[in-house]
Structure 1
Amino acid sequence: MTAVLRLRTEPLTAAAFAPFGEVIEVSDAARHYPINGGSTERYHDLARIAPGAGGRAIVSIFRARPCALPFIVEMLERHPLGSQAFMPLSGRPYLVVVAPGGEAPAADGLRAFLAGGTQGVNYAPGVWHHPLLALQAVSDFLVIDRAGPGENCDEAVLTGAVRIDLV
């Protein structure tokens, strides 16, 4: 029987997630300023949306069924031609599982983040990540990603299983 690697979640912070993309959230660290006669605070330029050559940015809503915990990670995907941003609309926490871009990821190179219900993520082009992992209930996400020519989704099956526990 193959051993299962146990992966603990860590809080989603801009510094911890920086090798994989950006955290999208209201934060004093973000550039922000009042607009609309002072009735609105604009948190400006929170993610580098990259549609890639010949691509265009599109906006979609993904509805994700919750995963059962503990969760076994067996595969990851990446989008080599453009970024992919997720912003939760349901206000519920969710899991973010990533590995650096490059060759197919190894189980021991994964990181898992527990994202709060008001934190989004923008995966940089080529970053390996697990498809949406909603928690608690069916959850909607606003997604900004790429449409255009070329193959923009690679999948990799992990050699060895990785179990995620919320701790």
Structure 2
Amino acid sequence: MPPSTKTPNPSPSSRRIPAGNLDPSSFAPFGQVIQNPATHNGEPKMTKASANQGTATKWLDVTEMRNWYGQAGGGKEDRAVVNMFVCEPRRLREDSKGEVVFDVRLLERHPYTLQTFIPMGLGKENTGTCYLVIVAPTLPIPDLTPSPTTTPPPPGSIEAVGGPKGSGPPDLDDIQAFIARGDQAVTYGPGTWHAPMVVLGEKPIEFVVVQYANGVANDDCQEFEIDADVLSVEVSGGGEGETQGAKARL
């Protein structure tokens, strides 16, 4: 198990945040959204090429895959890992006003690696099942270490995610939540605080998860526990199918 830190919420009152729709520009401070550029309005212009004897369109560099384990200091060699997470729908609750909410009790981060979640077997037409992406910025603390440099992306590619976010705790006053469809994957930036995957709706989602790891618990994953009744996400404000799916797990 990765080490956990339990710190009182910086804000004395409990917080309720709405979940918005996932899109690349809104999610950019935290990572990248992977989706078909041809079928999504507002997608940054990306480079494409014809492939497979003209029967396929190849979109280049739809997300980054890199790591910063050289900054970990332990000297343990890292490697690329590909795992599968089969995530069950989460239990939700209905508050006194009839709002369906998910209570956030834990955030985690992977300090030195990007992490990509790719859902399998779930299309955008499956409105009864979706997943909730919860992310938070890192609070600044004095740091004498020079910030890592990031090579600007080439023209026609996605915006680079930048390097690790520092060693501070999550900023619970600026936490954000997004509802993702089955035809969207997400890449968390290095050191981005996020909730463990939250599936909403009727059935489990199988995710292929791609990242780097070196086998050192504190290098690979760090956790931050949140007291009960401090933070919750409204999930009943999404699309009709998403709301119905969420209520199925009350």
Query: TM-score, normalised on structure 2?
Result: 0.62
Contact preservation (8 Å) 1:66, 1:138: yes
Post-superposition offset of 1:39? 1.0
Q: What is the CA–CA distance in structure 2 between the aligned matches of 1:153 and 1:143, rounded to whole Å?
A: 14
Partner of residue 55, structure 1: 78
Supply the distance in 2 between the matched residues of 1:152 and 1:5 (Cα, whole angstroms).
29
Q: Which residue of 2 aligns with 1:18?
A: 28
**Equivalent residue in structure 1 for 2:61, among 19, 27, 45:** 45
Between the aligned partners of 1:12 and 1:19, the Cα distance in structure 2 is 13
Give deviations 1:71-111, integer Å, cap 9, x for gaps.
10022000001111001113142000001234111322210
2:107 and 2:79 map into 1 onto residues whose CA distance is: 24
Q: Which residue of 1 aligns with 2:37?
A: 27
Q: Tell me which residue corresponds to 2:120.
A: 89
Pair 1:98-2:135 in alignment: yes
Please identify, of 15-24 and 92-101, the stretch whose mean Cα deviation from structure 2 is larger: 92-101
- How far off is 1:142 after superposition? 1.0
Give the match for residue 155 of structure 1: 223
Residues of 1 paired with 2:81 and 2:36: CA distance? Answer: 22
The unaligned stretches of length 5 or more in structure 2 are 1-11, 39-44, 70-76, 93-100, 123-128, 139-165, 238-250
| Structure 2 partner of 1:165 | 234
Decide which moves more: 151-160 or 126-135: 151-160
Please list every run of at least 4 consecutive aligned residues from structure 1 whose deviation after the TM superposition is greater than 6 angstroms: none
Paired with 1:59 and 1:152, the residues of 2 have a C-alpha distance of 14
Q: Distance in 2 between matches of 1:81 and 1:11?
A: 27
Report the AA paired with residue 50 of structure 2: P
| Separation of aligned partners in 2, 1:97 and 1:30 | 26
Structure whose alpha-carbon radius of gyration is higher: 2
Paired with 1:46 and 1:20, the residues of 2 have a C-alpha distance of 16
Residue type of the alignment partner of 1:147: A
- Could you say which residue in structure 2 is the equivalent of 1:112? 177
Q: Which has the higher helix share?
A: 2
Counterpart of 1:73 in structure 2 is: 104
**Is the 1:50–1:125 Cα contact (8 Å) retained in structure 2?**
no
Aligned-partner Cα distance in 2 for 1:82–1:52: 6
Report the Cα offset of residue 52 of structure 1: 3.0
Please say if 1:134 is aligned against 2:199: yes
Uncovered stretches (5+) of structure 1, i.e. residues with no partner: none
Q: What amino acid does structure 2 have at the position aligned with 1:27?
A: P
> Which position in structure 1 is the counterpart of 2:143?
none
How far the C-alpha of 1:124 sits from its partner, in A, is 0.8
